[in-house]
């Protein structure tokens, strides 16, 4: 049996199955990237909910795992060389899981770098820009009388959707016929933009039929459907 006692995070979230990969997360666009990847690969894991309403992310135990106090994070008892590995940042975790399982990543070097470029496109563009739009459209920022900040992120979100729309013409997934981490990174954010954030009309989403097509195919995958509700939502 794996011994994870050296990791303070396990004192707050004890591992019932310490031989499995431990996931600390919430069902947010970044959180579900990892749960979807885990469901797609079939890698055994145990999930722990990091409750923001209790400020779990600010506890010393969680900060020992991720000093940036964000989800998701993982603790893999069977990391490189058979030693435990703690890891945060959803993009880094996706690459790690792809390398660990030999899935969700092209085998050729050129294809690998193409996957990484779209992963970074999501992390540097789609995630931050869609997230800011959500703040100014759905959350506290919606009450600002000055709509210029919101409109800035609306315009940038439309531009990013246009990049996706053009790229997806004639392609089944982001890398053509091969589904992988680029899709898992991007489409939870697209789903959140038009769903939870309620910004479909605001960004004119009907003008991006290729993005809609791939989003529909993405959410229809059984592993995606499971991963979108991990950790399970209450109520």
Residues 137 and 207 in one domain: yes
Assigned token pair, 95: 């690459």
Give the residue from 103, 133, 165 where a domain finishes: 103
Three-state DSSP state, 136: helix
Give the residue from 103, 124, 152 where a domain finishes: 103
Q: What is the DSSP string of 154-194?
A: HHHHHHHHHHHHHHHTT-SBTBBTB--HHHHHHHHHHHHHH
User: What is the model's pLDDT at position 234?
Assistant: 67
Q: Is residue 147 part of a domain?
A: yes
Residues 115 and 51 in one domain: no
Q: Would you say residue 147 has pLDDT above 90?
A: yes
Q: How far apart are CA 191 and CA 135, in angstroms?
A: 16
Three-state DSSP state, 34: helix
Q: Residue 21 belongs to what domain range?
A: 9-103
Assigned token pair, 33: 């990237």
**Degrees to nearest 5, angle at CA 174 with 79 and 205:** 120
Residues 178 and 121 in one domain: yes
Q: How far apart are CA 105 and CA 99, in angstroms?
A: 8
Where does the pLDDT of residue 98 fall: very low under 50, low under 70, confident under 90, or very high at 90 and above? very high
Residues 80 and 18 in one domain: yes
User: What is the model's pLDDT at position 195?
Assistant: 98
Residues 129 and 42 in one domain: no
* CATH code, domain with 211: 1.20.1050.10
**Range with the lowest mean pLDDT among 1-10, 20-29, 33-42, 90-99?**
1-10
Give the residue from 68, 103, 138 where a domain finishes: 103
Residue percentage of the chain with pLDDT more than 70: 99
Distance, C-alpha 162 to centroid of its chain: 21
Q: Would you say residue 235 has pLDDT above 60?
A: no
Cα Rg of the chain, angstroms: 18
Check if the beta carbon of residue 126 is closer than 8 Å to that of residue 186.
yes
User: What is the model's pLDDT at position 3?
Assistant: 83
Where does the pLDDT of residue 2 fall: very low under 50, low under 70, confident under 90, or very high at 90 and above? confident
* CATH code, domain with 66: 3.40.30.10
Average pLDDT over residues 130-138: 97
CA nearest to 199, candidates 141, 146, 145: 141
Contacts of 72 (CB under 8 A, 6+ apart): 23, 24, 25, 26, 30, 31, 33, 34, 35, 88, 90, 93
pLDDT tens column, 204-232: 999 999 999 999 999 999 999 999 999 98
Q: Give how many domains the chain has, as a whole number.
A: 2
User: What is the model's pLDDT at position 233?
Assistant: 77
Residues 35 and 131 in one domain: no
Average pLDDT of the chain is: 97
Quote the pTM value.
0.96
Residues 121 and 162 in one domain: yes
User: What is the model's pLDDT at position 185?
Assistant: 98
Q: Would you say residue 1 has pLDDT above 80?
A: no
Assigned token pair, 200: 């479909």
Average pLDDT over residues 45-68: 97
DSSP state of 23: E
User: What is the model's pLDDT at position 231?
Assistant: 95
Which run of H or E residues covers position 75? strand 73-76
Q: Would you say residue 115 has pLDDT above 80?
A: yes
Instruction: Round to the nearest angstrom and report the end-to-end CA distance of the chain.
Output: 35
Three-state DSSP state, 86: strand
Q: Give just the sign of the alpha carbon dihedral 77, 39, 109, 121.
A: negative
Three-state DSSP state, 105: coil
User: What is the model's pLDDT at position 84?
Assistant: 97
């Amino acid at each position: 049996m794996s011994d994870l006692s050296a990791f303070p995070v396990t004192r707050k979230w004890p591992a019932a199955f310490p031989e499995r990969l431990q996931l600390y997360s919430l069902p947010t666009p970044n959180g579900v990237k990892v749960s979807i990847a885990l469901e797609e690969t079939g890698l055994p894991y145990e999930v722990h909910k990091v409750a923001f309403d209790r400020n779990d992310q600010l506890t010393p135990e969680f900060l020992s795992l991720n000093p940036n106090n964000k989800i998701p994070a993982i603790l893999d008892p069977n990391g490189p060389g058979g030693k435990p590995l703690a890891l945060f940042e959803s993009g880094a975790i996706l690459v790690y899981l792809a390398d660990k399982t030999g899935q969700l990543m092209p085998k050729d070097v050129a294809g690998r770098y193409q996957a990484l470029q779209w992963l970074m496109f999501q992390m540097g563009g789609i995630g931050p820009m869609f997230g800011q739009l959500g703040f100014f459209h759905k959350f506290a920022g919606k009450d600002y009388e000055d709509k210029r900040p919101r409109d800035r992120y609306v315009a940038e979100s439309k531009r990013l959707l246009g990049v996706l729309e053009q790229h997806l013409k004639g392609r089944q997934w982001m890398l053509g016929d091969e589904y992988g981490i680029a899709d898992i990174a991007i489409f939870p954010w697209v789903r959140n933009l038009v769903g939870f954030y309620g910004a479909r009309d605001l960004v004119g989403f009907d003008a991006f039929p290729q993005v809609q097509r791939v989003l529909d195919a993405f959410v229809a995958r059984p592993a995606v459907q499971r991963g979108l509700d991990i950790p399970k939502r209450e109520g």
